[in-house]
């Protein structure tokens, strides 16, 4: 019997964050941002859309979903037709109105992928007409207390780190690239059996379990290559292959397995349904995005205000973080005032984006 699951959820200003937790350890993270409303599609949403262009070279159609930053992509068969909701294949024409569902969020610079649900709509004023049930739950979420919010902060920080510890010793180095996700297994000072083969097997099996957790936690998909510590014994290599399959057995996304190469690399492919966490929270250069740092600053102001009741809170952030807040991408001022009152000031000073100084005066 699997361990019971727990949910941590926090409706913070500008974003709602949720962690699915097993045995005290987060195994999945989901973040819904207010700034994405009307700009980006989320997995499971339904849209009334209009076919803008049919690109037979790419075997797909581009659809207007009514979003500012994205258009939908619908794959077509070799005959130029598309399957409608698991039923018959139907032709598409440019300008046609359809109802589609989002089967994969936009990631790695690509548009979200959609599936055809219905035809025969006029296609006027494309817009969202429904969310997935799990996202409806986020809309109803409430602000978490300070302790739970801190646990979510720590879970997200860990999920963005390049290095992840392996229980019992050893580390994973996780490197998402445009082509694949590379995961390297290192002993990292682990102690164990004096038999090198036994030691490597124990480390690799623990690494396989942690790699499966980290992949799901970070919303990673596509081709994934795990470089395990070398082993010679065929029986140990077979045990490791079985351990990898077992580690991913309860993954809710589709996983296809390759095998363990003679160089000790196991390759697999995992469906990419949601946008990877690092793409959602970081810029292309690897730094936290200005939006991510800005929402961290708002949580810091709120935290200090609740800890220092009645006192004015001054917060200093980097210039680009303040610029994001000043641009009013979201109505954070009203929400912050509703939560703590008009007792905060915001200023900027040169420094790194993640340097946030919120203090009571």
What tens digit of pLDDT does each residue of 304-343 get? 999 999 899 999 999 999 999 999 889 999 999 999 999 9
Report d(CA 252, CA 265) in Å as an integer. 24
Question: Does residue 230 carry a pLDDT above 60?
Answer: yes
Name the nearest CA neighbour of 71 among 44, 110, 34, 36: 110
Placement of tokens 């077509």 in the chain: 76
Name the nearest CA neighbour of 10 among 185, 119, 152: 152
- What number of other Cβ atoms are within 10 A of residue 217's Cβ? 22
H-helix or E-strand containing 75? strand 72-75
For residue 5, what are the contacts with CB-CB under 8 A and spacing of at least 6?
20, 21, 22
Confidence of residue 3 (pLDDT cuts 50, 70, 90): low
Give the bridge partners for 163, in sequence order.
173
User: What Å distances lie between residue 31 and 42, 45, 84, 89, 152, CA to CA?
Assistant: 11, 15, 30, 35, 11
Mean pLDDT, residues 52-64 taken together: 92
Tokens describing residue 189: 């000072």
Question: Does residue 187 carry a pLDDT above 60?
Answer: yes
Domains of the chain in sequence order: 5-37+134-154 (no CATH), 46-130 (2.40.50.140), 161-276 (3.40.630), 282-360 (3.40.1260.20)
Tokens describing residue 67: 């979003």
Tokens describing residue 289: 């995005």
What tens digit of pLDDT does each residue of 136-167 get? 888 889 999 999 999 999 999 999 999 999 99
Is the distance from CB of 35 to CB of 24 less than 8 angstroms? Answer: no
pTM over 0.75: yes
Question: Does residue 109 carry a pLDDT above 90?
Answer: no
Name the nearest CA neighbour of 288 among 203, 207, 204, 354: 354
| Choice among 86-90, 172-176, 238-242 with the minimum mean pLDDT | 86-90
- The size of the chain, in residues, is 361
- What number of other Cβ atoms are within 10 A of residue 23's Cβ? 10
Question: Does residue 179 carry a pLDDT above 60?
Answer: yes
Higher pLDDT, 58 or 63: 63
Phi, psi of 223 (to 5 degrees): -75, 130
What tens digit of pLDDT does each residue of 248-260 get? 999 999 999 999 9
For residue 252, what are the contacts with CB-CB under 8 A and spacing of at least 6?
216
């Amino acid at each position: 019997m699997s361990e019971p699951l727990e949910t941590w959820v926090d409706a913070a200003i500008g974003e709602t964050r949720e962690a699915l937790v097993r045995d005290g350890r987060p195994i999945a993270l989901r973040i819904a941002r207010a700034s994405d409303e009307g700009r980006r599609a989320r997995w499971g949403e339904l849209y009334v859309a209009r076919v803008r262009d049919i690109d037979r070279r790419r075997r797909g159609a581009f659809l207007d979903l009514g979003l500012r930053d994205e258009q939908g992509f619908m794959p077509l068969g070799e005959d130029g037709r598309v399957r409608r909701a698991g039923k018959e294949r139907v032709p598409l024409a440019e300008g046609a109105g359809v109802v589609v569902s989002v089967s994969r969020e936009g990631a790695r610079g690509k548009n979200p992928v959609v599936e055809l649900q219905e035809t025969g709509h006029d296609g006027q004023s494309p817009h969202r007409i429904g969310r997935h049930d799990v996202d409806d739950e986020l809309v109803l979420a409430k602000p978490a207390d300070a302790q739970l919010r801190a646990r979510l902060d720590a879970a997200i920080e860990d999920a963005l780190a390049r290095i992840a510890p392996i229980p019992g010793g050893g580390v994973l180095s996780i490197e998402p690239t445009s082509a694949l996700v590379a995961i390297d297994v290192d002993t990292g000072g682990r102690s164990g059996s004096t038999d090198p083969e036994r030691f490597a097997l124990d480390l690799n099996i623990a690494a396989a379990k942690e790699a499966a957790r980290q992949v799901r936690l970070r919303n990673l998909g596509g081709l994934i290559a795990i470089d395990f510590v070398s082993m010679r014994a065929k029986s140990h290599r077979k045990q490791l292959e079985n351990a990898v399959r077992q580690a991913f057995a309860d993954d809710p996304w589709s996983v296809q397995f390759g095998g363990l190469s003679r160089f000790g690399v196991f390759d697999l492919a995992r469906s990419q349904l949601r946008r990877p966490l690092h793409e959602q929270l970081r810029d292309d250069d690897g730094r936290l995005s200005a939006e991510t740092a800005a929402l961290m600053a708002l949580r810091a102001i709120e935290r200090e205000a609740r800890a220092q009741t009645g006192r004015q809170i001054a917060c200093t952030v980097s210039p680009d973080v303040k610029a994001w807040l000043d641009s009013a991408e979201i109505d954070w001022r009203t929400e912050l005032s509703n939560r703590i009152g008009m007792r905060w000031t915001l200023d900027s000073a040169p420094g790194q984006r993640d340097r946030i100084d919120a203090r009571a005066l």
